[in-house]
Amino acid sequence: MNSRRMLQILLAALLLTPVGIASADREPVREWFEPESGCDGWYEHITDEGVIQLVWVVGDGAMLAGEQRAGGLGAEACSGWQEGFPFGGEDALSPENDPQDELADLTLDVRVSGGVEPKALEIEVGITPIEDLPDSVNLRLLLTVDHPTSGPDSHFVVKHYQWSSAFHHQANMTTEWNETIDSSRLASDEVPFTHSDLWRINVVVLLVDDLNHSIHAASRSPVETPSSVPSTADAAHLYLFGLAILAGLGMIVRAEWKREVCLPKLTGRLARRGQTWTAHVTLVAGRSPVTLKGADADAPWRVPKQPKERVIKPGESVDVGVRLKVTEQPPPSVRTHWSVEVEQLGGWVLDLSLTPEESAAEDSAD
């Protein structure tokens, strides 16, 4: 495989690497209200990707937030709701259940502190109202757990809940809302927080109007192990580093290709007539003009007289005869060095090894 083809493959591999890009449409929020005993036919209602799902436990053992949410919506046990409207499964994506217009931009950043043994969950929410928000709109922070060990064996069970109104409700004013939840608090809420359990946790933030229980903004983020997924900034640095590597590879590949097609080729033989040794060399120019500047040889050989400087046009060849002298008998093989000037590549020294017998010799470049 040639070097140009290799570069094309490397570029294609980088450009085709999947990158997480948020959808332009907000994910719908779907809520289930389920008693600890579970609901018949639950698995018929497992949602597809692209839906924020919350399972509220109601009845005995329910958290207060679940009871309040059910009471506010008028939801019964084993009922499903999406964007504040009940659904029976088949009409879950009907127009009335589509997400309402967003009233704010939400960003969500979730980090785990503590290394191998997680100590706390650090959550940062950016809230920027698109228009003035009523005072009745509040921020909801929820942690859901996939397949908890107690309660209903369901996905996305809400195990931690808190709310806040401490953010700017005025349009275009950004609030950086921060919350740190330590491991002891998570344990009290039955949220598994070991290194091997982090994948089960999702963090969800909602902007909810308490007057009509409508959801006006939403975002979610899985909790990854600290070493499993780089942050956005780190990923950007990795891509830039990857592009720099590819650019460097491209330069190396092009330099190698340019050297291959522009440097001249040498072949030759070492002949003897009486006591005189002569290197008969053929120099073939590549794609660039070549100027022969001089010749040399390793001891015990030497070149008593330099060849005449000459220019070889691209694709043409010249035969050069250079006398050599040697101080050892029988004479060993000789390594000759030919100084050339190549247009676009500058000065080069080409090596050519010759034996006392007639032979074709390979050429190399330093």
Dist. CA 59–CA 75, nearest whole Å: 12
List, as one string, the DSSP characters of 225-238.
-TTTS--HHHHHHH
Classify residue 245: in a domain, yes or no.
Answer: no
Same domain (yes/no): 156, 45 = yes
Farthest-apart Cα atoms in the chain, separation: 115
Distance CA(180)–CA(112), nearest Å, equals 10
Do both 124 and 213 map to the same domain?
Answer: yes
pTM: 0.55
- E strand or H helix at 13: helix 3-15
Residues 27, 161, single domain; the answer is yes
Q: How many domains does the chain have?
A: 2
In a shared domain, residues 203 and 77 = yes
Measure the CA–CA gap between 87 and 266, rounded to whole angstroms: 82
Which domain-ending residue is among 175, 209, 229? 229
In a domain, 244, yes or no: no
Residue 147 has what DSSP assignment? S
Residue by residue, DSSP assigns 27-69 as PPEEEEEE-TT--TTGGGGPPPTT-EEEEEE-STT--HHHHHH
CATH number of the domain to which 25 belongs: 2.60.40.10
- pLDDT by 10s per residue, the chain, length 366: 444 444 444 444 434 333 333 334 788 898 988 888 878 765 555 666 788 989 998 887 778 999 999 999 999 988 888 888 887 665 566 677 778 788 999 999 999 998 778 999 999 999 999 999 999 999 999 999 987 766 666 678 999 999 999 999 999 999 999 999 999 999 999 999 998 889 889 999 999 999 988 899 999 999 877 654 444 445 555 566 667 777 677 667 666 766 776 788 888 888 888 888 888 889 888 888 889 988 998 988 888 888 888 888 888 888 888 888 888 888 888 899 989 888 878 888 889 898 886 433 444 444
Task: Please report whether residue 192 resides in a domain.
Answer: yes
d(CA 1, CA 11): 15
Do 222 and 278 reside in the same domain of the chain?
no
C-beta atoms surrounding 273 within 10 Å: 7
Both 26 and 144 in a single domain? Answer: yes
Query: Does a structural domain hold residue 86?
Result: yes
> Any idea what DSSP says for residue 75?
P
- Structural domain contains residue 235: no
Q: Are 179 and 117 in contact (CB under 8 A)?
A: no
My answer on whether 161 and 300 are in the same domain is no
Q: Does residue 109 sit in the same domain as residue 224?
A: yes
* Terminal Cα-to-Cα distance of the chain (whole angstroms): 24
Amino acid at the residue 165: S
| Domain closes at, from 229, 246, 281 | 229
Residue 248 domain flag: no
Helix (H) or strand (E) holding 104: strand 104-113
Show which of 178, 211, 229 is a domain's final residue: 229
Kindly state whether residue 159 falls inside one of the protein's structural domains: yes
Q: Note whether 170 and 312 are same-domain residues.
A: no
Residue 347 belongs to some domain of the structure:
yes
Q: Dihedral angle at the C-alpha atoms of 144, 147, 150, 151, nearest 10 degrees?
A: 80
Quote the domain boundaries for residue 300. Answer: 263-365
What is the domain-level CATH number for residue 352? 2.60.40.1150
